[in-house]
Chain A
């Protein structure tokens, strides 16, 4: 069942991109489309191999660009950068702690749209970039900060339910072993 968790990640990313294009009332209220892809990539970087992280970043970015005015491929770099760096440095991060997950999601939620917007500035068409952009980045950061621990919680439970659990140490204790023979 090791395929289940990556498959679920892809399905959730697919639905998340679609959700960004719907619910106009939520979009108006937040002032920005409710994007949670950075949080999903953070989760994938801590729990899956680099292959899953790369393919998730590429697929999600292509889906996102397909439903936006951005040129196809414009969002791949920032999403992949988050996944790549976190995956390479995961041993240095307190990934089990909820507050660490929040701040990682928060950072990714700000970095990905900021880097995408900066890259788009170099294109032929100039994107919207105004006073409300800072507020939109903050909303994206908070949303992803909240979604990141939620993703850890949800996917870890699913993995615990559907995947084989690691065998524990058992009752044997080496220090209580009776040694036979002369000492």
Chain B
């Protein structure tokens, strides 16, 4: 009899807890989730510390000549990039002058901030990760994440020291894109049927037979989340939908989402 009471108490407690948790308002649930995730902070710290130790140890093992050659190469790259940046700044200023004449808002340069991915999604159902960038560092929901010159995703939830990011193609990260060569508009939908690494599915808004493999997909800026013109990936193949109303294309993303260790957050 006592055992049966125990079972009923356990069942009732769990049912009540699940009902309360699943009916929490979105913001409260997100905050509670990041708070629960806080129990892993010591492990995140331990992993970061051990990685930094291994990095330092490997730097000490590198020969001096290799380091000098690397510094020289970086100095050359830096000089070339500074020149390109000066040229770009001039073009941005000119673009903003022209935009102001049409009454459009200026497009300021991005302020990128390097962040480390501390953990990946623990389930197979989503494409998310945690980064070491939280509200104390200025994180805000919907800030854009890029890596390797391509779009990675957006910040979906912000905690004090860490934020959750949703990768391109996750249910929480739909992206409006245009094909650079043909200017055709499409959407990378939130829910993907493909689970292949680095591949996303793009649904064009109409039948687009002129979209070819190798064409570049860039953000359109229409969604209001991502800035316009960010490279997303290249078209792998296309297929018409049943009835031929629209075209579906597979995109190979520029950023290899499975192999990312560090990402850039574009701060406004």
Q: Is the CB of A70 within 8 A of B37?
A: no
With a cutoff of 8 Å between Cβ atoms, the chain B residues found around residue A58 in the complex are 14, 17
Beta-carbon contacts under 8 Å, A123-143 to B? 125-133, 136
A7 at interface (Cβ–Cβ under 8 A)?
no
Question: Which B residue sits closest to A18, measured CB to CB?
Answer: B43
Q: Is the CB of A27 within 8 A of B34?
A: no
B10 at interface (Cβ–Cβ under 8 A)?
yes
* Cα-based distance from A127 to B130 in the complex (angstroms): 18
Question: Which B residue sits closest to A77, measured CB to CB?
Answer: B18
Q: Is the CB of B14 within 8 A of A54?
A: yes
Shortest CB distance A14–B (Å): 7
* Cα-based distance from A22 to B10 in the complex (angstroms): 32
Question: Which A residue sits closest to B37, measured CB to CB?
Answer: A66
Interface locus among B58-66, B78-86, B191-199, B218-226 = B191-199
A38 at interface (Cβ–Cβ under 8 A)?
no
A154 at interface (Cβ–Cβ under 8 A)?
no
Beta-carbon contacts under 8 Å, A64-80 to B? 64-77, 80
Nearest first, the 5 closest Cβ-Cβ pairs linking A and B are A69-B126, A73-B21, A127-B125, A126-B191, A21-B119
* Cα-based distance from A66 to B96 in the complex (angstroms): 42
Q: Is the CB of B166 within 8 A of A69?
A: yes
A35 at interface (Cβ–Cβ under 8 A)?
yes
Q: Is the CB of A69 within 8 A of B127?
A: yes
Known A-B contacts A127-B125, A130-B195, A136-B124; A67 and B119 likewise in contact (beta carbons under 8 Å): yes
Shortest CB distance A19–B (Å): 9
Shortest CB distance B81–A (Å): 29
Known A-B contacts A28-B197, A63-B40; A128 and B125 likewise in contact (beta carbons under 8 Å): yes
B107 at interface (Cβ–Cβ under 8 A)?
no
* Cα-based distance from A133 to B127 in the complex (angstroms): 14
Beta-carbon contacts under 8 Å, B126-145 to A? 126-128, 130
- 9 residue pairs from A and B, CB less than 8 Å apart: A21-B121, A24-B259, A51-B10, A58-B14, A69-B171, A73-B20, A116-B123, A125-B171, A130-B195
With a cutoff of 8 Å between Cβ atoms, the chain A residues found around residue B190 in the complex are 125-126
* Cα-based distance from A12 to B198 in the complex (angstroms): 32
Chain A: interface secondary structure?
Answer: helix
Question: Which A residue sits closest to B23, measured CB to CB?
Answer: A73
Q: Is the CB of A67 within 8 A of B40?
A: yes
With a cutoff of 8 Å between Cβ atoms, the chain A residues found around residue B13 in the complex are 54
Could you tell me how many residues of chain B have their Cβ less than 8 Å away from some Cβ of chain A?
A: 50
Q: Is the CB of B11 within 8 A of A68?
A: no
A153 at interface (Cβ–Cβ under 8 A)?
no
Q: Is the CB of B124 within 8 A of A71?
A: no
Known A-B contacts A68-B125, A69-B125, A125-B191; A22 and B40 likewise in contact (beta carbons under 8 Å): no
Shortest CB distance A127–B (Å): 3
* Cα-based distance from A54 to B190 in the complex (angstroms): 34
Q: Is the CB of B259 within 8 A of A72?
A: no
A120 at interface (Cβ–Cβ under 8 A)?
yes
Q: Is the CB of B121 within 8 A of A33?
A: yes
Known A-B contacts A32-B124, A69-B172, A76-B17; A128 and B10 likewise in contact (beta carbons under 8 Å): no
- One digit per residue, 1 when the CB lies within 8 angstroms of any chain A CB and 0 when it does not, for chain B 153-172 equals 00010000000101000111
- One digit per residue, 1 when the CB lies within 8 angstroms of any chain B CB and 0 when it does not, for chain A 69-111 equals 1111111110010001000100000000000000000000000
Question: Which A residue sits closest to B121, measured CB to CB?
Answer: A68
- One digit per residue, 1 when the CB lies within 8 angstroms of any chain B CB and 0 when it does not, for chain A 14-43 equals 110110111010011000110100000000
Q: Is the CB of B21 within 8 A of A22?
A: no
A9 at interface (Cβ–Cβ under 8 A)?
no
Q: Is the CB of A68 within 8 A of B126?
A: yes
Shortest CB distance A117–B (Å): 6
